[in-house]
């Protein structure tokens, strides 16, 4: 990636378009509530999450 650092903005634009078009899909696991942070963190080590691990603490 460092070899193409000067093309970073171009890359971000293209990846964003692909996500919007559904060509790139991603997964995220959302745990609700600050009190569940320890559970969410430990889930990272047990394989309980898929993709990105998020903790929602407010609306």
The predicted-structure confidence for 2-57, as pLDDT tens digits, reads as follows: 888 999 999 999 999 999 999 998 888 899 999 999 999 998 888 887 788 999 99
Q: Give pLDDT tens digits for 7-21.
A: 999 999 999 999 999
Output phi, psi for 57, to 5 deg: -110, -15
Calpha distance 39→47 (Å, rounded): 12
- pLDDT band of 58, cuts 50, 70, 90: confident
Torsion of CA 35, 37, 39, 40, to 10 degrees: 140
């Amino acid at each position: 990636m460092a070899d193409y650092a000067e093309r970073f903005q171009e890359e971000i634009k293209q990846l964003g378009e692909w996500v919007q078009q559904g060509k790139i899909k991603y997964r995220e696991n959302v745990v609700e509530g600050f009190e569940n942070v320890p559970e969410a963190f430990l889930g990272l080590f047990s394989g309980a999450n898929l993709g990105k691990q998020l903790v929602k603490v407010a609306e």
